[in-house]
Amino acid sequence: MKAPIMETSDTTIEQHEHRSRLLEGMASVSASKGFAAATIADIVREAGVSKRTFYEHFDCKESCFLALYRLTSASALRTLREAVQPDRPWQDQVEHALEAYFSHLAAGPGLVGTLFVQIHHLGPEGFRVRREVMTQFADFVLETVNGGPGSGGARVSPVLTPTMALAAVGGINELVMLAIERGEVDRLQELAPSASAVVRRLTRADAA
């Protein structure tokens, strides 16, 4: 009775490993060749699996890339959330979290390309997924500013509105894009003070 259970477990582990290798292959190929030039043959060769295995996990290279984008985005957002220090004023929390976020990005140039450049080659579906991620980032900023101990306690109106939180994320995104264009990805952490200033400037507290 135990043999089928063990077989299923082994198969599940193998499938997970294959998927991980394919995502790593996509990351490597898109970083070196760019998404547009990448082929499924390139990806499976880098991953060390067959095309048949690729199609067991993904319909096309676009779906593979979007899975990679979601995974790397989740990792970056997790870094933001784990860096929050609730006992500090929200202004300090935001800057500290952004320092951790930029350090995370700078540690993987290929990651930066995936999150900020290659995604634009995915058309409407890429735009939709990118919007999902930017909204999650904006939600983080909104929660940190409005929920932090330095937000002023109970307020009739929020310190930061959802619209302004999204605007802040858009501004931060542009700062990263500019660093990419200038070849300064290794200096992304230096953007933290400017990026946190964008958030502060868009709060009602600073506007008052």
What are the structural domains of the chain? 1-58 (1.10.10.60), 64-207 (1.10.357.10)
pLDDT value of residue 148: 53
Which pLDDT value is given to residue 15? 85
Phi and psi torsions of 38, nearest 5°:
-70, 145
Q: Which residues of the chain have pLDDT under 50?
A: 1-7, 149-156, 206-208
| Integer Cα distance of 25 and 29 in angstroms | 6
Non-local CB neighbours of 195 within 8 Å, separated by 6+ positions: 98, 102, 171, 172, 175
Are 105 and 188 in contact, with CB atoms under 8 Å apart? yes
Prediction pTM value: 0.83
- In three state form, how does the secondary structure of the chain look? CHHHHHHHHHHHHHHHHHHHHHHHHHHHHHHHHCCCCCCHHHHHHHHCCCHHHHHHHCCCHHHHHHHHHHHHHHHHHHHHHHCCCCCCCHHHHHHHHHHHHHHHHHCCHHHHHHHHCHHHHHHHHHHHHHHHHHHHHHHHHHHHHHHCHHHCCCCCCCCCCHHHHHHHHHHHHHHHHHHHHCCCHHHHHHHHHHHHHHHHHCCHHHHC
At 40, list the tokens.
């499924």
